[in-house]
Structure 1
Amino acid sequence: MEESLLGKLQFWRKAAPTQNLGVYICAEKISVFQAATDEVAAKSMTFSFNPHDWENAFSQVLKEFGVAKLQLVLAADFYQLLLVDKPNVQDEELNAALLWSVKDIVTQPVTDIHLDYFESSKQTTNKVNVVVTEKPVLLAILLAAKTAGFVTQGVSIEEMAMSNLFDDNQARLVLSHREGQELLLTVVRSGEVFMQRRVRGFLQIDKVSAEDLAYGVADNLSLELQRSMDYFESQLREAPVSSIELVMDGERTQLANLISANFNQKVTAYNGSSVEVAFAQLALAEIARGDV
């Protein structure tokens, strides 16, 4: 009995983290979301740091939140999303085959990239979405998190994070925007991304005044939304989306009001503190989804 009990003692092993955090990674700041519990209220914070100083970034998170399991979402700065022909190979060989499919598209040598892929269940062509990241950067982020004592549950991207916004069977068109980036348009339903695209021409939409939105910006954006909705209905043969959601900063409520005049669907503006925190919250939702 004594030998059995003593055999389980490992004084150097740290206890596994019991709390979960959603983390959104940008080049110069990191946003963290912690869900509410019976003991504490929900908590979110954004930390600034020198570009790519990941040790400093995660040490700030550790100081404020303590050790935890993390789900990371990478900002668009850290990856390319490519649509390529799907190689005719077995699933277990697909990642290796895709390396050669993208080698002439990416700027890095194939030895310096890490890739993954995803497909929609409504795929109408023999194409696959390939996510390409720089392996040294991704490893530096993961190593800094581990050194700080965190356990990384998974790493995702902005497009896939949007699939956690709702958990019902209604298709929704989500328009998201982060400072300095192109608009991201996704259609999600039942935890799946059915379509996604970046919309050019609205890089500074978070800086546009409420008055200026009414002078062409909202109508131009509505045209882009209508094009995507037409594609979703005609090419994917789906029913119209049930709502339009705006996840962005700036005059989002005024923009929602202007866009709603052009559509039958309800248009809702996200009411959180910042779009970065919204992505961190969606990251945390991925852990909850995996625990189901």
Structure 2
Amino acid sequence: MLQLFRRKAQAPGLTGLALGDQYFTLAHITRQRDQVLLDRCVQVDVRNPQQLRESLPAQVAQLELQGSTCNAVLGARDYNLYLIEAPAVEPDEMRAAVRWKIKDLIDIPVEDAVIDIFPVPDDAFQGRSRMLYVVAAVKSKVEQLIELCKSAELELAAIDIPEMVMRNITAKFASDDRSLAFISMKSNGSTMNITRQGNLYLARKINTQLGPNAMDSLEWEPLRDRLVLEIQRSLDYYESQMAQEPVSRIMVAPRGADTEALAASLNDAMSVPVAVLDYAERLDSPADISIETKRTGMLAIGAALRSDLSLAGG
């Protein structure tokens, strides 16, 4: 998403930072040609913004990440994502035209928003107007994130959204030569991407909420049915409106002890194969970084996998 001017970083590799409601996650990845190493990854609980401002610099120092290039991820409540018809203007006028076009779509004054855009692949919506995605982020939240990284001595190079860092996970750990859906299911709502050959075609929010014990509930079957309906609607949109081949498989991100059972239950209910994408098992790291830490740190890891920000030799 938003790429920022930065000074030359003092540490090789790329640091990913993701903020949750009451925690933050740091992940640091170094690359040697095609090899990727997660050499640091932690999740730290924080009770309030003040504790976050105190804990993040201390953790960055403890991990010796001061001066490292950083890609930070916006929180789910701090932005909205829109798919709109691209204005018929010159490329250098596009952002200004988009800002004007979406002013009545967003729920905050447009002057209080940071707007960024990224294109839909050219073969989507064949025969129709060109479409693009618009990210409308709350300016104050972006400014707070920039200040937070500055106080922690992280060299902030870009700010991403969860959909884009999820794309980085599938690009590295899943074969998407044919269309692939990847879903991260959380208690406060879920995110679904459809990618092909590393390109993000469709990003959708799934409103069905799945708590950590969702499958133990007597309401699991109707809950699953609602979830399946939402997923199927997105698959249908991808095929009919975006004129794409059917999705070949659906991959579920690790979410806790019920991940395998959840994927199996969805597999039983859908016509498309459903399985778990357990990238954590395949991501090289020191022994002191547990599989569970890698699973819960998905967004920070995905941010650190952004290849266009990594430093040569790192």
Instruction: Give the TM-score, by structure 2 length.
Output: 0.76
Structure 2 partner of 1:269: 276
Structure 2 partner of 1:240: 246
Pairing 1:71-82 to 2, within 5 Å after superposition: 71-82=71-82
Does 2:193 align with 1:186? Answer: yes
The Cα of 1:110 is off from its aligned counterpart by: 2.8
Please list the CA deviations of residues 260-280 of structure 1 after superposition, one character each: whole Å capped at 9, or x if unmatched. 123454422244526651111
The Cα of 1:190 is off from its aligned counterpart by: 2.0
Query: Do 2:14 and 2:309's aligned partners in 1 also have CA atoms closer than 8 Å?
Result: no
Query: Do 2:13 and 2:311's aligned partners in 1 also have CA atoms closer than 8 Å?
Result: no
In structure 2, do the counterparts of structure 1 residues 211 and 270 end up closer, same or farther at CA, with 3 Å as the change threshold?
farther
Please list the CA deviations of residues 62-102 of structure 1 after superposition, one character each: whole Å capped at 9, or x if unmatched. 13322221111212111111233422221111112222222
Structure 2 partner of 1:4: none
Structure 1 partner of 2:102: 102
| The one of 183, 196, 213 aligned to 1:175 | 183
Does 2:235 align with 1:195? Answer: no
Query: Do 1:214 and 1:258's aligned partners in 2 also have CA atoms closer than 8 Å?
Result: no
Structure 1 unmatched runs, 5+: 1-12
In structure 2, do the counterparts of structure 1 residues 25 and 240 end up closer, same or farther at CA, with 3 Å as the change threshold?
same
Does 2:167 align with 1:147? Answer: no
Pairing 1:33-48 to 2, within 5 Å after superposition: 33-35=27-29, 42-48=39-45
One-letter amino acid of the structure 1 residue matched with residue 144 of structure 2: A
Q: Distance in 1 between matches of 2:94 and 2:22?
A: 34
Q: Distance in 1 between matches of 2:107 and 2:202?
A: 26
Query: Do 1:153 and 1:287's aligned partners in 2 also have CA atoms closer than 8 Å?
Result: no
SS in 2 for 1:128: strand
Structure with the bigger RCO (C-alpha within 8 Å, sep 6+) is 2
The Cα of 1:235 is off from its aligned counterpart by: 2.7
Query: Do 2:186 and 2:211's aligned partners in 1 also have CA atoms closer than 8 Å?
Result: no
The Cα of 1:155 is off from its aligned counterpart by: 1.1
In structure 2, do the counterparts of structure 1 residues 231 and 69 end up closer, same or farther at CA, with 3 Å as the change threshold?
same
| The one of 11, 17, 36 aligned to 1:17 | 11
SS in 2 for 1:249: coil
Query: Do 2:157 and 2:309's aligned partners in 1 also have CA atoms closer than 8 Å?
Result: no
In structure 2, do the counterparts of structure 1 residues 232 and 83 end up closer, same or farther at CA, with 3 Å as the change threshold?
closer
One-letter amino acid of the structure 2 residue matched with residue 189 of structure 1: R
The Cα of 1:288 is off from its aligned counterpart by: 6.2
Query: Do 1:76 and 1:158's aligned partners in 2 also have CA atoms closer than 8 Å?
Result: yes
Structure 2 partner of 1:7: none
Structure 2 unmatched runs, 5+: 1-6, 281-291
The Cα of 1:194 is off from its aligned counterpart by: 0.7
Query: Do 2:14 and 2:30's aligned partners in 1 also have CA atoms closer than 8 Å?
Result: no
Pairing 1:24-35 to 2, within 5 Å after superposition: 24-35=18-29
Q: Distance in 2 between matches of 1:91 and 1:51?
A: 42
Q: Distance in 1 between matches of 2:77 and 2:302?
A: 18
Q: Distance in 1 between matches of 2:10 and 2:311?
A: 16
Count of residue pairs brought into register by the alignment: 277
Q: Distance in 1 between matches of 2:107 and 2:8?
A: 41
- CA RMSD across the alignment: 3.0
Q: In terms of Rg, which structure is larger?
A: 1
Please list the CA deviations of residues 214-242 of structure 1 after superposition, one character each: whole Å capped at 9, or x if unmatched. 53333332233223222222332322222
Q: Percent identity?
A: 21
Does 2:64 align with 1:58? Answer: no
